[in-house]
Amino acid sequence: MKEENIPSGANRGKKRLGRGEGNGHGKTCCRGHKGAGARSGYSLRAGFEGGQMPLFRKLPQRGFNQKRFQTPHSVVNLSELSKIDGEKVDLESLKQAGLIRPNSKRIKLLGTGNVEKAYQVQVSLFSKSAKEKIEAAGGSFIEE
């Protein structure tokens, strides 16, 4: 939609507060009388219900979240290994090739794609298919 085709009133102007009673936003400037909401610097916490027990605290807790205890790992596919210089695949070589983030600590190698070179792989985790393909290409896995 081009600028000249926008219907009038589509972009409503900003509320002009405290500019007299004529525009309906004078005196208390839409904040009401007294109370925390009338004060400057007041911000309402998410889920706050004015002192009443919030709904999320009334409801029972359900389930268990395993993510809190998991250690995150970066995922690399076999098809991406061609971007690495040399035959060694480890944390440093993957970082230099830009395949994982600089702050990554653990790597999982997945079997998507094919392998042309015989790589020497030293990673935390790998899939069964990735191991089969690397060993078929003449590569090996080094214990981490």
Kindly state the percentage of the chain with pLDDT values over 90. 63
Q: What digits encode the pLDDT tens for the residues 43-75? A: 988 999 989 999 999 999 888 888 888 888 999
The pTM assigned to this predicted structure is 0.55
**pLDDT, tens digit, for every residue of 98-118?**
999 999 999 999 999 999 899
What pLDDT is attached to residue 1? 64
- The structure tokens 């600028």 sit at 3
With a CB cutoff of 8 Å and minimum separation 6, the contacts of 76 are 94, 99, 100, 107, 108, 109, 110, 123
pLDDT of the residue at 132? 94
CATH class assigned to 68-141: alpha beta
pLDDT at 97 (0 to 100): 94
Predicted confidence band of residue 9 (pLDDT cuts 50, 70, 90)? confident
The domain spans of the chain are 15-62, 68-141
The stretch 72-93 carries a mean pLDDT of 93
